[in-house]
Amino acid sequence: MTQTPVIFGEVLFDQFPDGSSVPGGAPFNVAWHLQAFGRSPLLISRIGEDELGRRIQDAMKDWGMTTAGLQRDPDHPTGTVSVSLKEGEPSFEIVPNQAYDHISAAEFPDLSPSLIYHGSLAVRHPDSAAALEALLSRSPSPVFVDVNLRAPWWKVGTIVSLLEHARWVKLNAEEIDLLVEQSGPTVEKARYLIERQDLDMVILTFGAEGAACIEADGAVQRVHPRKVEVVDTVGAGDAFASVIILGLLNQWPTNIMIARAQAFASAVVSNRGATIHDQDFYLSFIQQWGRKSS
């Protein structure tokens, strides 16, 4: 597991109103996309010893992903989330006390991450919070924090403490308003957050209005999405984050990185669910961007 991106946090099933269910969770979605783009991530998560857990494991193996970081829990079920959609926009009912809440540092494989990614839902339970703290304390690797504030599973103090380890932070306009009390434009709040937390970059997403990267030197790169037929926006932010991470690993210029991230996210929202199971879907982007690792 030398020099591989480590993706830490929840893996679960998104359950839709039509009865369909697809593997999800922001870390799982990010890892899925990075695998398709040739970066061979290590997903550290936990599943139950149940049918849903077997489906997660089988899906990862079929996609060529390692399951070395996928822990099995005999006492807690594989995570589930009920997704409701209104005009394509999702809302989530997140079930408590799931297997991913009990990730154990004692079950980590040997690893040397090139980058560590995690979100905020992963620390709602003390067990997984302790496991994440152990991971961060063992590794000097740079950290990408993807803020996903899901009521009632977060507190301002907890999120701020997570940012102390971060080099890059991704969040949306509503989330930065919740975390930064100062008044003023959103970009100025991002600059304040960079200074307060000693960050290299804040990545802001604005839904249909696009996204912006604000760097420590004050530079701002903006991008607007192309018009697409939206099926649902579940996982759009995860798709965006995966290409930002790809760009950071490959040292793409910020303006190119954010444009590619937005293009990929716009393509993902044209599909149902957060993960795409057709490698050809990714191949078109790989061809546009060059070789998988460049």
Sheet holding 89-94, edge to edge: 21-24, 12-15, 79-86, 89-94
What average pLDDT does the chain have? 91
In a domain, 30, yes or no: yes
In a domain, 63, yes or no: yes
Q: How far apart are CA 42 and CA 49, in angstroms?
A: 20
In a domain, 294, yes or no: no
In a domain, 220, yes or no: yes
| Helix axes of 186-197 and 156-163: crossing angle, nearest 10 degrees | 60
Q: How far is CA 228 from the centre of its chain?
A: 22
**For the residues 174-191, what does the mean pLDDT come to?**
92
pLDDT > 80? residue 35 = yes
pLDDT for 19 equals 82
Which region among 178-182, 218-222, 253-257, 281-285 has the lowest average model confidence (pLDDT)? 178-182
Residues 16, 125 contacting (CB under 8 angstroms): no
What would the pLDDT profile of 110-164 be if each residue is shown by its tens digit? Answer: 998 999 999 999 899 999 999 999 999 999 999 999 998 887 778 888 898 999 9
What would the pLDDT profile of 211-264 be if each residue is shown by its tens digit? Answer: 999 999 999 999 998 777 776 677 889 999 999 999 999 999 999 999 999 999
**For the residues 42-66, what does the mean pLDDT come to?**
97
In a domain, 123, yes or no: yes
CA angle 163, 265, 210 (to 5 degrees): 75
**Three-state DSSP state, 27:** helix
Distances from the Cα of 31 to the Cαs of 17, 19, 197, 206, in angstroms? 25, 25, 26, 23
Contacts 24+ apart (CB under 8 A), 189-198: 190/214, 191/218, 193/163, 193/169, 197/160, 197/163, 197/164, 197/166, 197/169
Domain count, the chain: 1
pLDDT for 104 equals 98
pLDDT for 1 equals 41
pLDDT for 294 equals 43
Please list the helix, strand and coil fractions of the chain in percent, rounded to the nearest 5, in that order.
Answer: 40, 25, 35
Q: How far apart are CA 204 and CA 251, in angstroms?
A: 19
Least Cα distance to 162 among 195, 210, 121, 215 occurs for 121
The per-residue b/e assignment along 230-247, b for 16 or more CB within 10 angstroms, e otherwise, is eebbbbbbbbbbbbbbbb
> Domain holding 238: CATH number?
3.40.1190.20
Q: Which domain holds residue 39?
A: 5-289
